[in-house]
Structure 1
Amino acid sequence: MMAFFKSICFSVAIAAIIILSLSVVNGSKRKADQDTDIANQPAQKKPRLVDSCISDNDTTVPPSPKNGDGVQTIMQSVSLQDFDAYLSEYIGNSTNLALLLDYDGTLTPIVSHPDLATLPVETKNVLQTLAKMPNVYIAIISGRGLDDVKNKVGIDGLTYAGNSGLEILFPNGTNYVHPLPNEYREKVTELLKCLQDRVCKHGAWVENKGTILTFHYRKVPEDLRAKLVSEAQRFIEVAGLKVMEAHCALEAKPYVDWNKGKAALHILDKAFGRDWRKKHIRIIFVGDDVVDEDAMKALKGTAVTFRVDASNIVETSAEHRLPDIDSVLNMLKWVARHCDKRELREDSVENLSDG
């Protein structure tokens, strides 16, 4: 009986070993099959600009384009408490403040057509309040044409810079127009006709900003975009103009040593004098696009800079991130409240000194 029991136990043990061995073999085979499947999958392609455009009804800020520095910054979005923490001390109580602001994607949402990008009433009211405050200077630096951005904002007493600063209108009525080569106008006229004849189809169109042409392709079906954008880019390059990527658009610009960064510095020179760096000037710059990076770089160390972007991983030269245009509005409201309290404190001091 004992021998029979030992025989059964031995058989069970052998069976268990066989089952365990089969399990290990099958598991290894499944793992190998999974590795083979993964290896055979095509690598994920990085989205191109033409693949990353938002839909016509989407008003959120699109993904941040690269600035070419290869610098990846993880930035948390800013709250009102954060403004209290560092802007309050930065601005102080008795300083001149310069607000340099982009328009599309910063003060207004990105929309399906430039004409639809209307400045929200609440944002306009805050800007009007700030424009009336002493020691507060506001400049709108936009990729739009000068007259276009001025009419869109519609507030007196502001500096307006159009075509990324190639044209600037100051509050006193004086203008700055960056000099362009004589043959440039002729190139623009020829390129405009070429783009209209060859690639303005499937919903694509060309906006003539005077010194800059913008090829808009947001409404082009996705399966047709890549080819059409490639053709438009080739025509721009053949014409001898510089190609710049924007939100679902290509911009044809002159090869001139001028950008939003140099425009911002020129505006500050005119507003506060060429020695403004030695004065007690506080500067805030806000922008959302790759062309705004030039200003962020130029103002590094002399301004607080914000990149408007929904992603917390942004390749940018900005110091801080604002996730959307509502956050920009909150920042402007905070600045207005801070400056209002500053004025009240100054009035109190003057009244005491008068007594």
Structure 2
Amino acid sequence: MAWRTGPQPVVIEGPRQAVGGAEILDLMRAASPPRQGEEDGGLDLYGEDAVAVQYKAWKKLHPSALEFFDSITSSARDKRVAVFLDYDGTLSPIVEDPERAFMSDQMRAVVKEVATLFPTAIISGRGREKVFSFVKLSELYYAGSHGLDIAGPSRAPAGNGSSEAIPVDGAEKDDLSVFQPAAEYVPLLDEIYARLQREVAPVPGAFVEHNKFSVTVHFRRVAEQYWEQLGEIVRTVVSEYPKLRTTHGRKVLEVRPKVEWNKGTALAYLLKALDLDDSSGVLPLYIGDDRTDEDAFNLFQERGCGCGILVSTVAKPTAAAYSLRDPSEVSDFLHRLVKWRQEDQKVDQASQ
């Protein structure tokens, strides 16, 4: 498949930021707010009642995508719809062991249905191969390592409900093109992965995952008393690699190439590559639960089109317009999206 030319990554220049142990601990806490029931015997650290009140007020600003489904589909009338999905916390529940973040068979089935009706992509911080091993659907586009590793099926869904697929940009059968704008950084990431594995070994519960174009240090199973120690280890190691940087997600520290590329730029690239960047005729949907998904939501705000949906059970700052509570509500939303399109097609066929 010959990808259309889209935005290209640029190297982030300027002086390196010196982040001390206390500051990195604050960043780790800020990016990892407690969910209801995570700690303190099932109560949120901020207090169960306070969280409920905050969430209720927050929902007025970011209402349920299920409750406002008709409004969303009304905006999609006579437009091409594209669906972009995060993986962890969106298609699968957040689990203690990241190696066991499996999606349900029901979720896999509805995502497969969605992909037969709309161009569909998964954009994840995980490595592309790892995400594919969880999802196991060849009909999708996959963007791993926050979009630094993008690949698509040889043929895209026709988008008209037929079982026949249409070629993408002259793709040949069984052709699978890959876009990897940071391929030159792989040897460096291999090196720092080995370093971090050794360095964080003394921290109970820490786990290092190699995502090919990023390295993730998970601290979901690390007691908070060790967070500062872990953060300082990561900061010290990364400081020796001027071409790499550290970013923060929920219970993870991520080491990435120092290039201006994230889920938002990956989304922009896919929209351009798939000829879906016509804001007047396309409604892209993006569903995600993490801080890193905000770059995609911000893209929609900047362009004045697109529908961002945050998956969360707690109030948090977001550029998303709507919300869903958990993967089960994501599944419900996708089921309704499939039913809406199928009914819409029946009406179109009846009028012909």
TM-score of the superposition, structure 1-length normalised? Answer: 0.74
How many angstroms apart in 1 are the aligned matches of 2:82 and 2:45?
Answer: 27
How many angstroms apart in 2 are the aligned matches of 1:121 and 1:62?
Answer: 33
How many angstroms apart in 2 are the aligned matches of 1:235 and 1:307?
Answer: 33
Moved over 6 A (4+): none
Larger Rg: 1
Work out which of the residue numbers 224, 241, 258 in structure 1 matches 2:226. Answer: 224
Equivalences for residues 77-96 of structure 1 within 5 A: 77-78=63-64, 80-84=66-70, 86-92=71-77, 94-96=78-80
Q: Paired residue for 1:187?
A: 188
Secondary structure of 2:196 counterpart: helix
Change (3 A) 1:80 1:288: closer
How many angstroms apart in 2 are the aligned matches of 1:346 and 1:336?
Answer: 15
How many angstroms apart in 1 are the aligned matches of 2:238 and 2:189?
Answer: 9
Give, as a single letter, the amino acid of the residue that structure 2 aligns with 1:75. Answer: K
Q: Paired residue for 1:165?
A: 147
How many angstroms apart in 2 are the aligned matches of 1:47 and 1:205?
Answer: 15
Deviation at 1:219, TM superposition (A): 2.0
Give, as a single letter, the amino acid of the residue that structure 1 aligns with 2:263. Answer: K
Work out which of the residue numbers 321, 334, 337 in structure 2 matches 1:335. Answer: 337
Q: Is the 8 A contact 2:310 2:324 kept in 1?
A: yes
Equivalences for residues 19-58 of structure 1 within 5 A: 48-49=29-30, 52=33
Stretch of structure 1 that moved more, 251-260 or 220-229: 220-229
Q: Paired residue for 2:258?
A: 255
Q: Deviations over 1:194-238 (max 9, x none)?
A: 212221231212111111111122222332232222222222233
How many angstroms apart in 2 are the aligned matches of 1:336 and 1:219?
Answer: 37
* Paired-residue identity, %: 27
Deviation at 1:328, TM superposition (A): 1.3
Q: Paired residue for 1:100?
A: 84
RMSD, aligned CA: 2.8
> Any gaps of 5 or more consecutive residues in structure 1?
1-44, 64-72, 351-355
Q: Is the 8 A contact 1:233 1:250 kept in 2?
A: no
Change (3 A) 1:80 1:50: closer
Work out which of the residue numbers 318, 321, 331 in structure 2 matches 1:319. Answer: 321
TM-score of the superposition, structure 2-length normalised? Answer: 0.74
Q: Deviations over 1:275-323 (max 9, x none)?
A: x325511111111111111111112211011111112x32111111212
Q: Deviations over 1:214-267 (max 9, x none)?
A: 112222233223222222222223323211112211110011011111110111
Asked if residue 151 in structure 1 is aligned to residue 133 in structure 2, the reply is: yes
How many angstroms apart in 1 are the aligned matches of 2:295 and 2:256?
Answer: 15
How many angstroms apart in 1 are the aligned matches of 2:112 and 2:274?
Answer: 18
How many angstroms apart in 1 are the aligned matches of 2:137 and 2:29?
Answer: 37
Q: Is the 8 A contact 2:32 2:251 kept in 1?
A: no
Query: Which of the two has greater helix per residue?
Result: 1
Q: Is the 8 A contact 1:100 1:284 kept in 2?
A: yes
How many angstroms apart in 2 are the aligned matches of 1:96 and 1:62?
Answer: 43
Q: Paired residue for 2:210?
A: 208
Q: Paired residue for 1:18?
A: none
How many angstroms apart in 2 are the aligned matches of 1:81 and 1:127?
Answer: 21
Give, as a single letter, the amino acid of the residue that structure 2 aligns with 1:250. Answer: L
Give, as a single letter, the amino acid of the residue that structure 2 aligns with 1:83. Answer: F
Q: Paired residue for 1:291?
A: 292
How many angstroms apart in 2 are the aligned matches of 1:62 and 1:338?
Answer: 40
State how many pairs are aligned.
287
